[in-house]
Amino acid sequence: MRNTIKILKKRTTKKVNIISLIFLFLLPIVSHAESATTAKVSETVSATIVQFSESEQGTGSRPVTMIVTDQFMRIDDSIEADGSSQENGFVLFDRKEKVIYSVSAEEQQIVTVKFVPVTVPSPIELKLDWVTLETDKNAPLIGGKKTQQHQLFVNEKLCYYLVSVPELMPDVVAAIGDFNQVLAGQQAETLRFIPADLHDGCDLAKHTFYPKKHLSHGFPLMIQAMDESGKDNVKYSRDLVNFKQQMVSTDLFVLPNYSIVPIN
């Protein structure tokens, strides 16, 4: 599975020449950040903090932290959930408005991705097969719940191997699914620029047409995405390290006063 966080990070570090930004578009974002800072400077909110270890082919593992509330999901690479990560940039997902903000401190800009529905058909036929494997009876319980092992095939090619936990952190699962759906809408808009012979079934299913499929059996405790070689080589993996419920500062969900770069 393509690392969506990394995709957004790459987009924010790209040099973008902006001749002008529409004032009426920019003003609401800046005003929101300023009002939130003023109104919520000392407030806290209940959040679920989820810590992962992620790795990709050719790179080492890195920690990733998600902080999920009923309104926001914040994603930080290799940063603790104490607010110090804002200097390095972060991704903020407004769950109510369905907008992703990718914040780059280095570029001092915020790339925005708004939700648009996927209305185009898949350029190739997609046949999905979900296989549930036998569960290890001796596997430890996670949050008091049993794990399940699954494989997802697209057009007879293995795309995912994952270990899921049904009914574990359902609100986090919903937030991740909606986040992926926003990215799917943006991916769909780029399909017309991809040559027909370069379309891959796994990529289309995971990133555009079935972005929530791997969440259908609960929280993914461990997920492995296979590469395009067809040899079951792991391209990307993510493992749960820890999760907890605690109060966090609302400052974590305030946008800095950077320039806005809309993608759609």
What H or E segment, with its residue span, contains residue 145? none
Residues 6+ apart with CB under 8 A from 88: 76, 77, 79, 105
DSSP-derived secondary structure letter, 261: E
Q: Where residue 18 falls among pLDDT bands split at 50, 70, 90? A: very low
> What local confidence, expressed as pLDDT, does residue 88 receive?
73
Q: Where residue 158 falls among pLDDT bands split at 50, 70, 90? A: very high
The pTM of this model reads: 0.80
Stretch among 18-27, 181-190, 221-230 having the lowest mean pLDDT: 18-27
What average pLDDT does the structure give for the chain? Answer: 82
pLDDT at residue 47 tops 50: yes
> What local confidence, expressed as pLDDT, does residue 231 receive?
60
Stretch among 109-113, 215-219, 228-232, 234-238 having the lowest mean pLDDT: 228-232
129 close to 149: Cβ distance less than 8 angstroms:
no
pLDDT tens readout for residues 84-125? 444 578 999 999 999 999 999 999 999 999 999 999 999 999
- For residues 58 and 65, the model is more confident at 65
> What local confidence, expressed as pLDDT, does residue 179 receive?
98
> With the CA atoms of 95, 114, 105 and 74 taken in that order, what torsion angle do they form, in degrees rounded to the nearest 10?
20
Q: Where residue 230 falls among pLDDT bands split at 50, 70, 90? A: low
What whole-number distance in Å separates Cα of residue 51 and Cα of residue 49? 7
As beta bridge partners, residue 160 has 152, 225
- For residues 196 and 50, the model is more confident at 50
Average pLDDT over residues 125-148: 90
Q: Where residue 138 falls among pLDDT bands split at 50, 70, 90? A: confident
pLDDT at residue 41 tops 50: yes
> What local confidence, expressed as pLDDT, does residue 60 receive?
81
Q: Where residue 22 falls among pLDDT bands split at 50, 70, 90? A: very low
Q: Where residue 48 falls among pLDDT bands split at 50, 70, 90? A: very high
As beta bridge partners, residue 41 has none
* β 72-77/157-165 pair status: unpaired
> What local confidence, expressed as pLDDT, does residue 71 receive?
97
pLDDT at residue 12 tops 80: no
> What local confidence, expressed as pLDDT, does residue 38 receive?
33
- For residues 38 and 109, the model is more confident at 109
